[in-house]
Structure 1
Amino acid sequence: MKVTGKLIFKSEDASELIDIIARSLAPDNLSNNITVIGENTTSITFTSDKIGTILSSVDDYLMNAVIVEKLSYTLKDIKK
């Protein structure tokens, strides 16, 4: 049995940040993860045989997204 989970990020105010996060994390996607980047929206779909794998993948993705977000803000401050 396949289990699927999906994260959807939407923001008109932070579309650039969403794009940066999605593009930064896309190289780490496993073959069963699909990232779709749209205007003001990014979604990632996780598929696995086990729900525990989905939960671990989502947790890793969100933790890495937080790091990219903080790094993005830090780099913007340095450029000022």
Structure 2
Amino acid sequence: MMPLVLVILNYAGSDLDEASRKIDEGKMIINEYARKHNLNIFDGLELRNSTRQKMLQSEINNISGVLSSSMKLFCE
């Protein structure tokens, strides 16, 4: 999340209201994705079997794709 915040702050320049709005939009996108795919920061990989770990790794890869596409939206 931190790199996304830095990109937004850089994009917004000195307009803190715009930066705050964009950061909130980014949080909403990430939370919506996590809710849609039933992701949880407390979902420990060490407690899952190997099949679950592979599925979780593919979800992590999907999240990075969502982040890159959301950063494109903020830069436009």
TM, length-normalised to structure 2:
0.41
More strand by share: 1
TM-score (norm 1): 0.40
Bigger Rg, which one: 2
